[in-house]
Amino acid sequence: MKLSKLKLNPSNPRIIKDDKFKKLVKSIKDFPEMMEKRPMVCVTDADGKFYPLGGNMRLKALIELKYKEIPDNWVMLADEWTEEKRQEFTIKDNVSFGEFDWDTLANEWNVEELSDWGLDIPNFEIDEETEQEEDKIAEAHTKLTDKFIVPPFSILDTKQGYWQERKKVWKNLILDDGSKRAGKLAKRTENWNEESDTYEIMSLFDVSILDPVLSEVLLKWFAFENCKTFDPFAGDTVFGYVSSFLGNEFTGIELRQEQVDFNAEKTKGLNAKYICDDALNVLNHISENSQDFLFSCPPYFDLEKYSQLPNDASNQKEYKDFLQILNVAFSNAIKCLKENRFACIVIGDVRDKKGYYRRLPHHICDIFEANGMKLYNEIIMLEMIGRKALTANRNFITRKNPKVHQNVLVFYKGDPKQIKTIYPKIEIQEDESTDV
Ligand SMILES: C[S@@+](CC[C@H](N)C(=O)[O-])C[C@H]1O[C@@H](n2cnc3c(N)ncnc32)[C@H](O)[C@@H]1O
Q: Whose CA is nearest to atom 12 of ligand 1?
A: 233
Identify whether the C-beta of residue 61 lies closer than 8 Å to the C-beta of residue 28. Answer: yes
Work out the average pLDDT over 327-343: 98
- 216 and 349 in a single domain? The answer is yes
Asked if residue 248 and residue 210 are part of one domain, the reply reads: yes
Model pLDDT for residues 282-310, shown as the tens digit of each residue:
999 999 999 999 999 999 999 989 999 99
Which neighbouring-strand residues pair with 50? Answer: 6, 44
Residue 283: alpha-carbon gap to chain centroid? 24
pLDDT digits (tens, 9 = 90+) for 391-426: 666 677 888 888 899 999 999 999 999 999 999 988
**For residues 288 and 178, which has the higher predicted lDDT (pLDDT)?**
288
pLDDT at site 192: 60
Identify the domain boundary among 85, 116, 147. Answer: 116
Give CA–CA dist 400/194, Å, rounded.
Answer: 14
293 with 412, same domain: the answer is yes
For residue 179, being part of any structural domain is answered with yes
Calpha distance 224→227 (Å, rounded)? 6
* Model pTM score: 0.67
Give the residue from 145, 144, 146 showing the smallest Cα distance to 166.
144
Distance in angstroms (rounded) separating the CA atoms of residues 67 and 53:
20
User: Do both 18 and 147 map to the same domain?
Assistant: no
Residues 25 and 142 in one domain: no
Q: Is the pLDDT of residue 196 over 70?
A: no
Last residue within a domain, chosen from 116, 145, 176: 116
Looking up residue 345, the CATH number of its domain turns out to be: 3.40.50.150
Task: Give Cα 366 distance to the centre of its chain.
Answer: 34
- CA–centroid distance, residue 388 to ligand 1 (Å): 24
The Cα 57–Cα 40 span in angstroms is 10
User: Taking the C-alpha atoms of 247, 264, 277 and 224 in order, what is their torsion angle to the nearest 10 degrees?
Assistant: 10
295 φ, ψ (degrees, to nearest 5): -120, 140
Distance 252 CA to ligand 1 centre (A): 10
Query: Mean pLDDT throughout 90-103?
Result: 77
Same-domain status, 169 and 296: yes
| Residue 97 placed within a domain | yes
CA separation for the pair 310, 312 (Å, rounded): 6
Q: What is the Å distance from ligand 1's center to 254 Cα? A: 6
Q: Which residue has the higher pLDDT, 149 or 286?
A: 286
Is residue 409 a part of any domain in this protein? yes
- How many Cα atoms are found within 13 Å in the side-chain-facing hemisphere of 190? 10
Cα(406) to ligand 1 centroid in Å equals 16
Ligand 1: which residue has its CA nearest to atom 16? 312
Give residue 222 CA to ligand 1 midpoint distance, Å. 22
Tell which residue, 352, 323, 343, 308, has the closest CA to residue 414. 343
pLDDT score at 321: 98
Range of the domain at 59: 3-116
Judge whether residue 151 has pLDDT over 60: yes
Compute, in angstroms, the gap from residue 299 CA to the centroid of ligand 1.
Answer: 6
Provide the pLDDT for residue 204.
46
CATH of the domain at 33: 3.90.1530
Number of domains in the chain: 2
The model's confidence at residue 93, banded by pLDDT at 50, 70 and 90, is confident
In a domain, 148, yes or no: yes
Q: Of 33, 38, 42, 34, which is closest to residue 10 (Cα–Cα)?
A: 42
| Domain end call among 86, 116, 146 | 116
Q: Are 320 and 257 in contact (CB under 8 A)?
A: no
Of all atoms in ligand 1, which is nearest to the CA of residue 278? 20
Closest ligand 1 atom to residue 313 Cα is 16
Residue with more model confidence, 333 or 127 = 333
Quick check: 171 pLDDT over 70?
A: yes
Looking from the CA of residue 299, the nearest atom of ligand 1 is 1
Mean pLDDT of the region 378-397: 77
Name the closest-CA residue to atom 11, ligand 1: 235
Residue located nearest, by CA, to atom 26 of ligand 1: 235
Average pLDDT over residues 112-119: 79
Q: Tell me the CA distances in angstroms from 403 to 48, 68, 146, 380, 383, one per residue in order.
A: 91, 86, 33, 11, 9
Which of 206, 314, 332 maximizes ligand 1 atoms within 8 Å of its Cβ, making it the mutation to test the pocket? 314
For residue 140, what pLDDT is reported?
72
Report, as an integer, the average pLDDT of 375-404. 82
On whether both 254 and 150 belong to a single domain, the answer is yes
The rounded percent of the chain whose pLDDT value lies above 70 is 85
Residue at 318 is within a domain: yes
How many whole angstroms from 197 Cα to the centroid of ligand 1? 21
Distance 282 CA to ligand 1 centre (A): 14
Q: Are 334 and 247 in contact (CB under 8 A)?
A: no
Residue 165 resides in a domain: yes
Specify the pLDDT at position 433: 47
Residues 56 and 183 grouped into a single domain: no
Task: Write the burial class of residue 107 (CB in 10 Å: 0-12 exposed, 13-18 middle, 19+ buried).
Answer: exposed
Atom number, ligand 1, closest to the C-alpha of residue 325: 19
pLDDT score of 390: 61
| Span 215-242, pLDDT tens digits | 999 999 999 999 999 999 999 999 999 9
Phi then psi for residue 335, to 5 deg, are -65, -30
Distance 244 CA to ligand 1 centre (A): 19
Ligand 1: atom nearest CA of 235 is 27
CB 358 within 8 A of CB 350: yes
**109 and 139 both lie in a single domain:** no
Task: Report phi then psi at 405, rounded to 5.
Answer: -145, 160
Q: 70 falls in which pLDDT band (50, 70, 90)?
A: very high
Characterize the bridge pairing of strands 50-54 and 40-44: antiparallel
- Phi first, then psi: what are they for 52, rounded to 5°? -80, 135
Q: Do 217 and 245 have their domain in common?
A: yes
Ligand 1 pocket mutation pick from 184, 306, 316 by most atoms within 8 angstroms of CB:
306
Specify whether 282 is located in the same domain as 322. Answer: yes
State mean pLDDT over 112-121: 78
Asked, for residue 121, whether it belongs to a domain, the answer is: no
Whether 42 and 163 map to the same domain: the answer is no
Average pLDDT score, the chain? 87
Helices and strands of the chain, counted as H and E runs: 17, 14
Q: Which protein residues are within 6 Å of ligand 1, measured from CB?
A: 208, 210, 233, 235-236, 253-256, 259, 278-279, 297-299, 306-307, 311-314, 325
- Identify whether 129 is part of a domain: no
Judged on CB neighbours under 10 Å (0-12, 13-18, 19+), 404 is middle
